Chain A
Amino acid sequence: MLRTVKKSGISIRYKILMLLTLIPLLTLSIYLVLAVQIFEKDKVAYVFDSSSNVSGAMASQSKAQFNSLLSEVKPIFQDFLTNGDFTGSSNSIFNGDGSLEGLVAFQYRGTSKKFERMAFLEKTPRSVEGIVLGLEKTLPDYFSELEKSPRIVKAPYRDDRLFIFEKVQDSKESNVTVFMIIVRLSELSEMYKAESSQKLYLITQEGTILFGPLNTLGLGIQTLFPAHFLDKTTTKVAQGAEAVTDQAGVDRLVSYSRAGFGDLLVVSSVDKKQALGAVDILIRKSLMFFGVLISITIIISLLASNSLTSSLTSLFHATKKVSEGDFNIRVAVNSKDEIGALADNFNLMAAEVSRLLDETAQKVRMESELQTAKTVQETLFPETQAKIGPLSIAGFYEPASECGGDWWHYCQAGRKILLWIGDATGHGAPAALITSAAKSASTIIERLNITPAQALELLNKSIYDVSKGRIMMTFFLAAYDPETKVLSYANASHEAPFLIKKGSSPLKKKDLIPLNEVNNPRLGQDRETKYKQTTINLDPEDMVLFYTDGIAEIQNKMKMSWGERDFLKAVVSANKDYPTAQEFVARLTQMIQDHRQGEILIDDVTFFVVKNDLNV
C-alpha cells in the first residue's frame, strides 16, 4: 500500500513570495535608516553652520551699530571730561542723532562714596530725571558691574531702549566717570523681533535678553532653553553651537556669537524639528517611494512565484497521483529551465514505470500461462520408472525453462514395446507445442501396429503440418519385440542411442555401441520423407541409453560444458558394474548434478535407459 505524502507547513509559493519581498524590504529599510541618519547629521551640521553665520552676521551688525553710536557720542564724553558739563557742541551732537534719547554723566564722589549725577542731555524734558529715579535701586548694581567691565549694556525697561554704560577714568584713576547712554535702536530691535523659524536674541553675559522676539525682552535666556555657552568656562569662546532641549521638551539647535561690544552675545535658536523638516520630507517621500517599490516587488514576486510554483504544484499533484498508483499522469510544463527538465524527466520516469508495470503485468500473465503450459506438458511425460514385460525403464527429464522441447515416452502396443525420444528445434514454449503435437500423434500411431519407420513417416507429416517447416524435431523411435528379442529402430537425425552389452570385464568407452546404422532427415523437414529402419538383437541384460544433446551441454558455475568426453566417462562409470536401469539413472543423475552445481540449464536434458532384465 503506497502512502500518500501530504503537503505541510508553509507553501513554497509563500516562501518564495516572502523571500522576494522581505529581501528588498529589509535592504531598503536599512538603506533608509542609514540615509536618514547621514542626511540628518548633515542637515544638523548645515543648520549649525547657517545659524552660526546668521548669529555672526547679527553680532557684526550689532557691533557696528553700537560702535558707530559710541563714536558719535565720544566727543560728548570728551566735552564733559574737559568742561565738566555738556556744552553747546554736545547738545548739537546729541540732538543731531535721533536714536539718542538721553545721556547722563555720573562721577564717583569720595565724600559720598557713590556715583552722583553730574550732567545730562535729554530730548524730552524731565525724562532723564524720571529714568534715573526709576533706576535708583538698580544703578548701584550697574556701577558695581562696571568695576569689572568698563562697558555694560542693559535694557531695564524691556523695550527697544538700551542703556549703555561706559566707564571712563583718567590715568591716575582718581576721577571715574560713567556715561549712561539711553538709545532707542528700533531697527536693530526689529531685526531681532523678525518672525522666522530661526529666533535671534541679543543677550548679556548673564543671559538677559536685550533684543529678541516678542515677550522675551528682559527674560533670562536660560528660561527658554539651557544656555551652556554662558558658563564661565566658555565665556571666551567667540562663536559656538549646541543642541539642547528646552523646558517644553522641544529639541533646539542653538548657536551663538559674541557681539564684540561689552559682554553682548547674539544667540540663534532653531526648532530642531523644523530645521530638520527636510528630513521628514525625505522620509515621507522615501517611504512613499519604497511603498511603490515594494508593491511592484510584491506584484512581480507574485507573478514569479506563481510561475515557479505552478510548475512545482503540477509536479506535486502528479507525484501524488503516482503515489496513489496512477502512472499515466503527465505534467505539462513548458518552461525550459530546471523545473521544465524535472517535469520532462518525471514524464519519462512515469512513462517508463508505466511501461515496466505493463510489462510486469504481461510477464506475470505469461509466466502464469507458461506455468499452466508446464503443468499440461508434464502430463505428456510418462512415469520415470516402469517395467514393461522384460524391459525395465528409467528416465530423467528437466526442461531448461518452464516448457521444454525434449520429449520421451514408452508404451506397449500389442506385443511390442515402443520407445520414443525426440528433441524439437530450440526449447521453450514453441518447442513444447511441437512436443505436444508429437505426443498427440504418437497416441494414434501406437495403436496402428506399424513399424518404427512407418511411424516416423506419420509423425513427420504431423510435425510438418503443425510447424510448416519452421520447427523440426530430431527423433528416435524403437520397437522391441520380447518374443523375438529384436529391437527395430528408425532415426530422424537424433543422437544415436548407445547399446551397452554386459561383458565379463568392466565397461569401457569403446564398448558403447551407437545405434547409427540408419539415419533419416529430421521430422518436419520434408513432408514426404521416407524413413528407413534397421534391427538389432537386444539380449538379456543388454541396456540401451537414449538421450538428447542437451546432456553434453550442461554447464557448471564456471560456464564450462560437461562435454561428450565427460558424459561418456560418466556413462561408463555409472555402468561399470552393470547396475539396474534405475540405479544407472540415479548414478548418472548424481554425476550431472555434481558437475552442474545448481547452475541453470541452457538446453533441455533428457535421457532414459531400457534394460532387458535377465530374470524375465
Chain B
Amino acid sequence: MSKFDVKMDKAGESLKVNLAGSIDEDADFTQLSLAGASKIEIEMSGLKSINSCGIREWIKWLSTVPASKISFNQCPKVIVDQINMVDGFLPANAKVESFFVPYYNDDSGAEKNVLFRYGTEFSDSAVMPPSDVKDDDGNPMEMDVIESKYFKFIKK
C-alpha cells in the first residue's frame, strides 16, 4: 500500500492540492487545512486506492469548506467509482473537471486510461467519448466500464 502524500500550493485565495497514494484509516487530513481558500483545485492522478475509512475522512475533510469552489482534476477510476457510489463524496460545491476512463483491448490485454475533460469529452449532462481509441499497436480499444454506472455522476 503506497503512502498517502499531499502537496499543497496556496496562491492568494487559490489553493492547489496534489494527492497521491492511498487514502485509508492512516491518512491524516487534520493537518491539511483548506480554510481561507475560495478556490481549491485537487489534482488526483497519483491516487491509487481509497477504502471505506478513507471515504469517511475524505467527506469530513471537504465538508470544512462548504463555501469554496472545488474542482476535481484527473480523477482516477477509484475516485470516480466513489463519486458515483458514495453520496457526498463529490460535495455540492465541487465539480469534476477531468477524469480518467479505462480502455482495454480484450485480445491484446492492452490497457489505457483516457482523460475525459469537461467541455471536451463530457459536459454537464452528456459524455462525448473519443470516437476512436487505439492501443500502441493500433488495435481498437473499448471502454472498460459500465457506462451507465461510470458516467452516472455526469448525468445527475
Contacts and interface: CB of A to CB of B under 8 A. Distances in A.
Interface stretch (A6-14, A41-49, A119-127, A515-523): A515-523
B107 interface: no
A464 to B, nearest CB: 13
A530 to B, nearest CB: 12
B53 A425 contact: yes
A472 interface: yes
A374 B132 CA distance: 52
A549 B148 CA distance: 18
A576 to B, nearest CB: 16
Interface stretch (B10-18, B85-93, B118-126): B85-93
Contacts of A568: 146
B87 A522 contact: yes
A564 B49 CA distance: 13
Interface residues of A, number: 27
A519 B146 contact: no
Interface string B26-61: 000000000000000000000000011101100100
B53 A565 contact: no
Given A520-B87, A522-B87, A525-B59, A565 B146 contact: no
Contacts of B89: 493
A426 B146 contact: no
A387 interface: no
A494 B85 contact: yes
Contacts of A513: 148
B90 to A, nearest CB: 11
B88 A496 contact: no
B83 to A, nearest CB: 10
A506 interface: no
A516 B84 CA distance: 9
A565 to B, nearest CB: 6
B104 interface: yes
B75 to A, nearest CB: 16
B135 interface: no
Interface in A421-440: 423-426
A474 B146 CA distance: 21
Contacts of B148: 513-514, 516
Interface string B89-131: 1000000000000001000000000000000000000000000
Interface of B: 25, 51-53, 55-56, 59, 81, 84-89, 104, 144-149, 152
Q: Which 10 A-B pairs have the closest CB atoms?
A: A514-B149, A493-B86, A425-B52, A521-B87, A519-B87, A493-B87, A521-B88, A520-B87, A516-B152, A426-B53
